[in-house]
Amino acid sequence: MGFFDRLSRLVRANANAAVSGLEDPAKILDQSVADMQSDLVKLRQAVAMAIASQKRLRNQAEQAETQSKTWYERAELALKKGEEDLAREALSRRKTFQETATSLNAQIQAQDGQVETLKKSLVALEGKIAQAKTKKDMLKARAEAAKAQQQLQSAVGNLGTNSAMAAFERMEDKVEQMEATGQAAAELAGADLESQFAALESGDDVDDELAALRQQLKGGPEAVALPAAESQPAVQPVKVEQVDADLEELKRSIDKL
C-alpha cells in the first residue's frame, strides 16, 4: 500500500469522524424528511408531465385516425366520380395518416407502462414519507432522551471530582467532627462536675472521722463516747488499765513472731 493511499484513507477517516461528531440527529431527521419531500415534488412533476405527454399522443393518434377515415371517404368519392388518379392520391394520404396513427398508438402503449410505474413509485414514496414523518417525531424524542441520559451519566460521573461537591463533603465532615468534639467536651465537663460533687459529699464523712480522732487523742486515756441511741444504754468509758493490758498482750504476741 502506497504512502498516498494511506494518507488519503486517513484524511477521509478523520473527515468522516468529524462530520459524525457534528451531526445532530434532530436536524438530520428534519433535513431527511425535507429531502424526501423535495423528491416527492419532483416525482409528481415527472408523473404529471408523462400523463400530459400521453394525452397529447392520444389526441394526435385520434386526429391521425380521423384524417385517415376522411381521406378514405374522399378516395371513395373520387373513384365514384371516375377520378381514379385523385382517388389514388387520397388513398396515399390515408395510408400516411394510418401509419402515423399506428406509430402514435405504439408510443401510447409503451408510455402507459411508464406512467403506471411512475404512479406506483409516487404512491410508494408518499407512503414512505408519511411513515418517515411519523417516525421522525418518535426518533427525535428518543434522541433527546438519550442525550439527557448521557448528560445525567456525565454529571454523576463527575460528582467525585467536582470541586464544589468535594468542598461540600469536606465541610460536612468538618461539621460532624465539631459536633463530636462538642459532645466529648460536654461529657468530660459532666464527669468532672460529678467527681467534684462526689468529693464534697464524701468530704463530710472524712472530716467527721478526723474530728473524732482528734477528740480521742486529746481525751488521753478517756475513750470517745459514741452517740447514744434511744433503744440502747449509754456506752461506758473505757478504763486505762484495760487498754494497757491489751497493749501488753499485743507486744508479747509480736515478740514471739
Q: Which of 66-70, 73-77, 144-148, 218-222 has the lowest mean pLDDT?
A: 218-222
Rounded to an integer, what distance in angstroms lies between the CA atom of residue 32 and that of residue 197? 90
150 and 175 part of one domain: no
Domain range for residue 187? 169-218
- Whole-number Å distance between alpha carbons of 129 and 40: 8
Let me know whether 103 and 204 are in one domain.
no
- Same domain for 124 and 53: yes
Residue with cell 385517415: 68
> In this structure, what C-alpha cell is assigned to residue 230?
434511744
Q: For residue range 183-196, what is the model confidence (pLDDT) as tens digits?
A: 777 666 666 666 66
The tally of domains found in the chain comes to: 2
- Predicted confidence (pLDDT) at residue 224 exceeds the cutoff of 50: no
Question: Region 120-127: what's the mean pLDDT?
Answer: 88
Q: What is the mean pLDDT of residues 7-36?
A: 67
pLDDT at 8 over 90: no
Q: What is the mean pLDDT of the segment spanning 18-28?
A: 63
Extract the C-alpha cell encoding 74.
374522399
179 and 138 both lie in a single domain: no
For residues 254 and 239, the answer to whether their CB atoms sit within 8 Å is no
Contact assessment for residue 143 and residue 25, using Cβ atoms and an 8 Å cutoff? yes
112 domain-assigned: yes
Whether the model clears a pTM of 0.75, i.e. scores above it, the answer is no
C-beta atoms surrounding 167 within 10 Å: 10
For residues 84 and 190, membership in a common domain is answered with no
